[in-house]
Amino acid sequence: MSATERPIWREAMKDKSHPLHQATWTIFREKMSLKTVDRVLSDQKETVIPFLFAILEDENLEYEGSLGNGFAPVHAIEILGHWQVPEAVPVLFRILEEIYWDTLLHDKAILALEKYPCDIRDDLIAFSKAGDHDRRITMTSILWKTCPGDDTAFNFMVDVLTEIDSSSRHQISFVGEMMLHSDTERAIPILEKHLKRIRDKNERERLASFLETARAGKWNYWKKDN
The string of pLDDT tens digits covering residues 172-218 is 999 999 999 999 999 999 999 999 999 999 999 999 999 999 999 98
Over 90: is that where the pLDDT of 94 sits? yes
| Arithmetic mean of pLDDT, 8-29 | 95
Distance CA 106, CA 126 (A): 19
Over 60: is that where the pLDDT of 119 sits? yes
| Of residues 101 and 134, more confidently modeled | 134
| Arithmetic mean of pLDDT, 98-125 | 94
Distance CA 146, CA 136 (A): 15
Q: Are 222 and 145 in contact (CB under 8 A)?
A: yes
Mean pLDDT of the chain: 92
Give me the pLDDT at residue 4, please: 47
Q: Give me the residue spans of the domains in the chain.
A: 1-116, 119-226
Residues with Cβ within 8 Å of 225's Cβ and at least 6 positions away in sequence, in order, are: none
Give me the pLDDT at residue 32, please: 96
Residue 151 main-chain phi, psi, to 5 deg: -65, -45
Residue 20 main-chain phi, psi, to 5 deg: -110, 15
The letter for the amino acid at 58 is D
The letter for the amino acid at 124 is L
Cα angle 142-145-146, degrees, rounded to a multiple of 5 = 85
Over 60: is that where the pLDDT of 151 sits? yes
pTM above 0.85? Answer: yes
Residues with Cβ within 8 Å of 164's Cβ and at least 6 positions away in sequence, in order, are: 133, 171, 172, 175
| Arithmetic mean of pLDDT, 17-29 | 96
Distance CA 143, CA 124 (A): 7
Length of the chain in terms of residues written = 226
Distance CA 2, CA 6 (A): 8
Q: Are 203 and 173 in contact (CB under 8 A)?
A: yes
Q: Are 28 and 37 in contact (CB under 8 A)?
A: no
